[in-house]
Chain A
C-alpha cells in the first residue's frame, strides 16, 4: 500500500496568514493526489484534484502543487471559514489511501 504522510499534524494560524500543508507519498503517485477540507460534524469537501486542479466552487486562495512523491496545499490568505482539518488522498493505485490529516486552528 502507498502510505501518505502529512505534516504538520496541526498548525496554529491567524486570519490573513499564508498556510502550507505538506503531503508525502511512500512511492511515486504521478499527480494523482486530492485534497479535502473537513469541518466538525460535516462530510469532507473536495478542494483540489490531480494535484493542482481547483474543484469547481472552491475559492482561488486554495492551491495545490507537486508531483511524484511531494505535494503541498497552500491557503494564500486564511479566512475564518478555513479553520478545519485537511486531508490528502492518493488515487494512483489501489488501495486508495488518505493522509492522517492536518488541523488548522487559531
Chain B
C-alpha cells in the first residue's frame, strides 16, 4: 500500500528555520516525482515544486524559487521541504504528493495528510 506520511503540525516564529518531512512507503521512492503543494487558509492549491529522488532533479515554481528548498533522501525514502527564514505569510497547509507515472505529466495520485504550519510572533 502506497503511503505518504507527513511530520506533525508546526508552530514557529517569524525568522525561524524549518524542515518538514514526507515519509514514503509502498513503492520505489526513487522512481517517481514528488511534489509539494501549498494551501493558504480558505484558499486554493498552489504548486510549489517537485523533485525526482533518483537524481534529485528539482523544479521550483517561480513564486517559490529562492524561498524554499526541496530535497530527498533515498536511503530513508523521505522528501523534505525547508525554509531558512519563515514569514507570517507562510502560514498554510502543506501537502506532499506523488506524481502518477514515470514522467511528471499525469497528476498527483497519492497525497500526504498535510502539515499545518503556523508562523506567528
Contact = CB atoms under 8 A, between A and B. Distances in A.
Contacts of B35: 96
Contacts of B114: 43
Contact of A43 (B44, B61, B105, B113): B113
Given A43-B114, A44-B95, A46-B100, A92 B44 contact: no
Q: Tell me the interface secondary structure of chain A in the complex.
A: loop
A104 to B, nearest CB: 14
A49 B110 CA distance: 13
A81 B69 CA distance: 37
Interface residues of B, number: 27
Contacts, number: 71
Q: Tell me the interface secondary structure of chain B in the complex.
A: strand
A36 B109 CA distance: 9
B44 A98 contact: yes
A94 to B, nearest CB: 5
A34 B107 contact: yes
Given A94-B59, A95-B62, A43 B112 contact: yes
B47 A87 contact: no
Interface residues of A, number: 25
Q: Which of B47, B61, B113 has the most CB of A within 10 A?
A: B47
Interface string B20-64: 000000000000000101000000111101100000000111110
Contact of B47 (A45, A55, A96, A100): A96
Interface of A: 1, 32, 34, 36, 38, 43-46, 48-50, 55, 87, 89, 91-92, 94-101
